[in-house]
């Protein structure tokens, strides 16, 4: 028995001595693995951010294309020849003016955290709007990208209204009206529906829930009702219907309509705020809806279906 004990003592010591370097090697190997995993996660996150950012910049350009040249051509072809340039200029000037007031105070009133109806002045002059994402709105893209995408919505919304008073309002009056309308109607409405703490944005601390994925309320309902009020208030064109007021060029309007179709992919698919499956779903729905609507128009107007023009 004593010889057996004498044998076990050095054997156990040797085993213990061997486990020390093995344990050290295992710990040393674990550290690089954790570092590599962290680097891989960081690289994947950076790749997602870069992809989402690239997609949102493309969508921003597509939405801007809807105003100029899309909407400018669409409305320009529907008016008389003498008013073509004035009508197209309305869309063009709104691209410039709304951009400036958006940078001065518009983005802040719409998306800075404030009360239920107005944002604060935290983002005035785009202060603090840079490369860092705003997780409340879009966690994978720079806030500056989110800001410029929303700017394109702010541009096209008043531009849509101009079709309601085509040929019936002075250029200077139109410009003053659109600045006031954007400030009093669009910016507060955008905050109420999309802004943090907005009255109709229960997802971000508001009182009531309202689902507006791509501007159904903020863009289309607001511009539609405002256009109706403008048309009723201004009344008919002078001389109508005694004087014929045929469209100047339906070809120009047709080109504008095609550009609007293409631009709408940025409008709707971009509202996913990422290059994921939700953007794909919105893209597909947009295209199939537009195609179905085109066929429905042809079917509902037999003379149009027969002539094709």
Per-residue pLDDT for 160 more than 70? yes
Percent of the chain with pLDDT over 90: 65
pTM listed for this prediction: 0.83
Extents of the domains making up the chain: 63-249
For CA atoms 249, 252, 256, 262, the dihedral sign is positive
Spell out the residues 6+ positions from residue 209 whose beta carbon is closer than 8 angstroms to its own: 200, 201, 202, 203
**Model pLDDT, residue 11:** 52
Per-residue pLDDT for 306 more than 90? no
For residue 194, what pLDDT band results from cuts at 50, 70 and 90?
Answer: very high
95-142 per-position pLDDT tens digit = 999 999 999 999 999 999 999 999 999 999 999 999 999 999 999 999
Supply the DSSP symbol for 166.
T
Fold of 63-249: Ammonium transporter fold (1.10.3430)
For residue 21, what pLDDT band results from cuts at 50, 70 and 90?
Answer: low
Percent of the chain with pLDDT over 70: 83
Tell me how crowded residue 59 is: count the other CB atoms within 10 A of its CB: 25
Residue 71: exposed, middle, or buried by beta-carbon count in 10 A (0-12, 13-18, 19+)?
buried
Per-residue pLDDT for 5 more than 50? no
Per-residue pLDDT for 60 more than 80? yes
**Model pLDDT, residue 305:** 52
């Amino acid at each position: 028995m004593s010889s057996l004990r004498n044998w076990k003592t050095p054997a156990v010591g040797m085993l213990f001595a061997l486990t020390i370097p093995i344990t050290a090697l295992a710990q040393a190997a674990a550290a690089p693995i954790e570092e590599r995993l962290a680097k891989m996660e960081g690289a994947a996150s950076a790749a997602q951010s870069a992809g989402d950012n690239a997609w949102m910049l493309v969508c921003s350009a597509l939405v801007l294309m809807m105003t100029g040249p899309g909407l400018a051509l669409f409305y320009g072809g529907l008016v008389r020849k003498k008013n073509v340039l004035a009508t197209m200029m309305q869309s063009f000037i709104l691209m410039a003016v709304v951009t400036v007031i958006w940078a001065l105070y518009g983005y802040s009133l719409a998306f800075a955290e404030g009360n239920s109806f107005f944002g604060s002045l935290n983002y005035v002059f785009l202060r603090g709007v840079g490369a860092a994402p705003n997780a409340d709105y879009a966690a994978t893209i720079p806030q500056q990208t989110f800001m410029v995408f929303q700017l394109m919505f702010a541009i096209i919304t008043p531009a849509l209204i101009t079709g309601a008073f085509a040929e019936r309002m002075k250029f200077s009056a139109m410009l003053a009206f659109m600045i006031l309308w954007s400030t009093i109607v669009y910016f507060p409405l955008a905050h109420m529906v999309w802004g943090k703490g907005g009255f109709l944005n229960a997802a971000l601390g508001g009182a009531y829930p309202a689902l507006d994925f791509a501007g159904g309320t903020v863009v289309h309902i607001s511009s539609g009702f405002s256009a109706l009020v403008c048309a009723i208030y201004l009344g008919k064109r002078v001389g109508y219907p005694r004087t014929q007021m045929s469209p100047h060029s339906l070809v120009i309007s047709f080109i504008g309509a095609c550009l609007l179709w293409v631009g709408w992919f940025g409008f709707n698919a971009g509202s996913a705020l990422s290059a994921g499956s939700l953007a794909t779903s919105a893209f597909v729905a947009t295209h199939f809806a537009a195609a179905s609507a085109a066929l429905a128009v042809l079917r509902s107007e037999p003379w149009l279906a027969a002539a094709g023009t």
